[in-house]
């Protein structure tokens, strides 16, 4: 039974759908996929077209709307559409995946086999199942980052279900090994480090002091995990966002405090580091981040291997310490307490080389679904050049390459950005 709530300017309706865990066994076990319908209160009775939002990740639930009057993409979207915020399988309220839920499996191999079913192809199949259950002829889709990967898969597997497709920072590398992805993104992360330390030159020494202290002392985060130099480097995850530098800088400013025995790492810093990284609360992001690129190949911990080609990211006894970006490393399954029970399954998935095809290049070359994509010139997470290659494969795709926004353009200025994409598809721009 659907549940409806009202918040300023919006009517929200919760939906739960029972879909096959494995679509090769449609009559087999089920899981729940949750979606929240969002409509402007003033248009609740209108027969509006539908727009499905696919969140970035992988492994993150859809946004939770707050207020239609606040600036943002949802407020813009509900002017024209009835929006469906889809919690992709395994995230949010969609039979969530975590170390607790995966503990019910008897072996790491069983965990790995289950996790293989949580990539973009099955997210698309879930969306199609829901579309048919709601008796919708065709709907539009908006994909942010990894959500755009899912849309590209959608255009390959079930284009007949789509009316329009909108991408924000999310055209995937097609026909590229995972190693190619990291060989492209490590230099972009290095460039972001350069910009960061140009803005905050004092932080060169601050980071060095933190790392030196951690190399000599056993420091624990509030959750009990060890705080290591490698984990501090992961604070660079935010550097691809327009507002990503400042939280790191202000956190570093308060890294040390004078305690009973002299200088030590402050609780403020420890809590800040723990809060800044979400691998433990969103384990799909850690486990399937590299496999989300794979088609018939293994990732074999690509980010870890390719990192060796960029020695500037190594932690040395002296010299500057650079932050890393959107990379997953095998050491994380030793240091993150809630990832430890998933370590063997993660290794099995990293060695798996029979991942099914996600993108059909022939179908993409014959595409008839109107598409518009915003690409960010200096995107740290999704390499623009690889995205441009993908766009060239999708017949009729319209691309807007801009340096006005970073990867979080949809969040930072969603009303303007989405309005432009709508205009591109409608021939107004």
SS3 of 342, please? helix
Determine which one of 379, 387, 397, 413 is catalytic. 379
- Residue 145 among the catalytic residues: yes
Got the DSSP string for 376-422?
ETT-SSS-HHHHHHHHHHSTT-EEEEESS--TTHHHHHHHHHHHHHH
- How far apart are alpha carbons 36 and 9 in whole angstroms? 15
- How far apart are alpha carbons 127 and 4 in whole angstroms? 21
- Residue 289 among the catalytic residues: no
DSSP 143: E
Q: What is the phi/psi pair of residue 10, to 5°? A: -130, 150
**Token code pair at residue 43:** 């248009």
* Strand order through the sheet with 3-7: 3-7, 10-20, 30-40, 82-86, 50-54, 139-144, 162-168, 371-376, 398-402
SS3 of 254, please? coil
Determine which one of 145, 238, 302, 387 is catalytic. 145
Comparing C-alpha atoms, which of 248, 244, 211 is closest to residue 227? 211
SS3 of 305, please? helix
Place of tokens 């191999």: 109
Q: Which helix (H) or strand (E) holds 343?
A: helix 343-350
Helix 384-393 × helix 178-199 angle, to 10°: 140
User: What torsion do the CA atoms of 327, 332, 337, 338 make, to the nearest 10 degrees?
Assistant: 50
Comparing C-alpha atoms, which of 53, 120, 88 is closest to residue 410? 53
Determine which one of 140, 225, 407, 413 is catalytic. 407
Q: Which helix (H) or strand (E) holds 81?
A: none
Angle at 351 between CA 349 and CA 353, to 5 degrees: 95
- Residue 379 among the catalytic residues: yes
- How far apart are alpha carbons 381 and 379 in whole angstroms? 6
User: What torsion do the CA atoms of 315, 316, 321, 325 make, to the nearest 10 degrees?
Assistant: -20
For the chain, the farthest-separated pair of C-alpha atoms sits apart, in whole angstroms, at: 69
- What positions carry a catalytic annotation? 145, 379, 407
């Amino acid at each position: 039974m659907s549940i409806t709530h009202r918040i300023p300017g919006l009517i929200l309706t919760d939906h739960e759908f029972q879909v096959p865990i494995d679509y090769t066994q449609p009559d087999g076990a089920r899981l729940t996929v949750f979606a929240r319908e969002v409509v402007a209160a003033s248009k609740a009775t209108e027969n509006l077209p539908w727009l499905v939002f696919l969140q970035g990740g992988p492994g993150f639930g859809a946004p939770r709307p707050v207020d239609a009057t606040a600036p943002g993409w949802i407020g813009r979207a509900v002017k024209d559409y009835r929006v469906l915020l889809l919690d992709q399988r395994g995230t949010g309220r969609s039979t969530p995946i975590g170390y607790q839920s995966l503990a019910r499996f008897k072996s790491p191999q069983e965990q790995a086999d289950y996790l293989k079913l949580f990539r973009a192809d099955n997210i698309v199949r879930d969306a199609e199942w829901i579309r048919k259950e709601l008796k919708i002829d065709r709907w539009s889709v908006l994909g942010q980052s990894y959500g755009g990967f899912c849309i590209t898969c959608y255009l390959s597997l079930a284009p007949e279900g789509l009316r329009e497709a909108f991408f924000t920072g999310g055209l995937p590398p097609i026909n590229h090994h995972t190693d190619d992805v990291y060989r492209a993104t490590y230099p972009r992360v290095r460039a972001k480090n350069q910009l960061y330390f140009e803005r905050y030159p004092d932080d060169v020494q601050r980071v060095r002091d933190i790392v030196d202290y951690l190399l000599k002392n056993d420091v624990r985060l509030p959750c009990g995990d060890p705080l290591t130099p490698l984990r501090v480097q992961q604070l660079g995850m935010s550097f691809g966002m327009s507002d990503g530098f400042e939280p790191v800088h202000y956190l570093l400013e308060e890294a040390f405090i004078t305690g009973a025995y002299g200088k030590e790492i402050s609780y403020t810093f420890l809590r800040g580091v723990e809060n800044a990284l979400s691998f433990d609360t969103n384990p799909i992001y850690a486990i399937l981040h590299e496999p989300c690129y794979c088609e018939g190949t293994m990732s074999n911990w690509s980010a870890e291997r390719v990192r060796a080609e960029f020695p500037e990211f190594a932690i040395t006894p002296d010299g500057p310490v650079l932050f890393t970006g959107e990379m997953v490393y095998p050491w994380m399954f030793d240091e993150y307490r809630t990832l430890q029970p998933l370590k063997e399954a993660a290794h099995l998935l990293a060695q798996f080389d029979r991942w099914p095809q996600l993108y059909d290049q022939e179908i993409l070359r014959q595409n008839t679904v109107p598409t518009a994509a915003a690409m960010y010139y200096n995107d740290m997470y999704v390499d623009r050049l690889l995205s441009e290659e993908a766009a060239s494969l999708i017949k009729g795709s319209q691309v807007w390459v801009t340096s006005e926004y970073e990867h979080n353009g949809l969040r930072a200025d969603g009303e303007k950005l989405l309005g432009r994409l709508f205009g591109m598809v409608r021939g107004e721009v």
